[in-house]
Structure 1
Amino acid sequence: MCLLTLLVSLPSLKPPECHELDVTKCEKASTLHLVVFYGALYTLALGTGGTKPNISTIGADQFDDYDPKEKKYKLSFFNWWMFNIFIETLFANSILVYIQDNVGWTLDYAFPTLGLQIFVAIFLVGTPFYRHKLPTGSPFTKMAKVIVAAIRKWNNPIPSDTKQLYELDLEEYAKKGRVRIHPTPTLRFLNKVCVKTNSSACGWKLNPVTHVEETKQMLRMIPILVATFIPFSFPVQWLHK
């Protein structure tokens, strides 16, 4: 955001203005302009992609799912979280568009940049007081094990009784501060991974139901990820102005 603010503020970083009706006659943006512009956008995209999915997760980690009182507070946290996001989008965007049209781009970018710096400072000050959960392995490794095991057991039948599927004891998840997930009917072919056979051992041939359900959750997110590519693309029309 700091780089984008400088980009719209410093004349040397702006592409030449064009007053021609035919944009093909306008002077093109230099290599420096393009490098700074796309560098700022990709830096912002990487930063946003790295923080947005983790902020809500950190918030959820502050509550103990095994404490009924804290579990209730956790649900309230996400309600207020989404409420604030929509209120911010409604009012903040309207105000910033007004500033953009009537004052200028510099102040329009300066406000969110300043706000971002304040929120980062608050986050860093509160870091010692947060609950920190140590990582317990890569989720991609678990997904790979589930998918490989499903391919290996492609011809295996799935029992109609879900109680016959392999699952760890509840105490095993409680020790790690995790919640056991019950089997779901969607992507049912992955349930083959939980079927015990004579040659299957926990790993690349056998996985508990919770690991399979976590993989299902990730796979169900793929259509949402693809659908959000276009609406979240940043317009670059101002480069030609």
Structure 2
Amino acid sequence: MRLALLLISTLLLVSCFSPEDSSEVAKTPWDAYNRAVVASKHPGAADICRTLSPVSASNSKLIWNPADPEGAKRVLVSTWASWPGYAQSKKIGLVREVWVSLAPEVRDILKKENVPGSNIILRIDQLLGMPPTKSETWFVELWVRPADLFRPTPDPEIDDTEAGLDFPAGAPQNHIEWFNNQVRTNTYPWTRLGYTYDWGNPATKVGVSEYIIRVSSEVEVNKVAPTLEYIN
């Protein structure tokens, strides 16, 4: 049964997220990255992922803060950053949006791939859809209220496994404006479908499920660790 489920999941990923045209192999990391930027600007139905990691009680992979009371538990997320404030304060009121993934998804993927130390930074760039020269200081784990999270997709809901291409009926106007502004200004390979664009995996573009912490949210720092130490 477990094998059957694994095969079904694999087929879903492969069918929805086939790699870019393999007849032309990217010569450099920048070549691959720039192709990803172009490809991500026109998402279609075939790019929709139906296996996103939801923020809900049904997701057994999530880590919830055991110190929080039932009904008000915060979930653990991670971000790759260099801002020194994360290491200086335990509780932080955010003055800007923070893009995050669910912890410890990034670390688990890199460990599973057994990426050698010399390639870890580049592989993180690829997995998170970052430029190949990006190198942050550390990984930061944060406790955050689910209500303070939203998906960078037309539908900001966080508790399902799929994000569509269109705004749902009743979508908040401020979210529509935020999203359209991102379409105009975002220069990364942003999928707009709830997952990072992995430009380093020849089998699938699906990276990790991504979320954003809202401005003015209060978060609690769980861990700050240098990049290589966190991954290893």
| Normalised-by-shorter TM-score class | under 0.3
Greater Rg over alpha carbons, structure: 1
TM-score by length of 1: 0.22
- Greater relative contact order (Cα 8 A, min sep 6): structure 1 or 2? 2
Q: Point out the structure with the larger strand share.
A: 2
Higher fraction of helix = 1
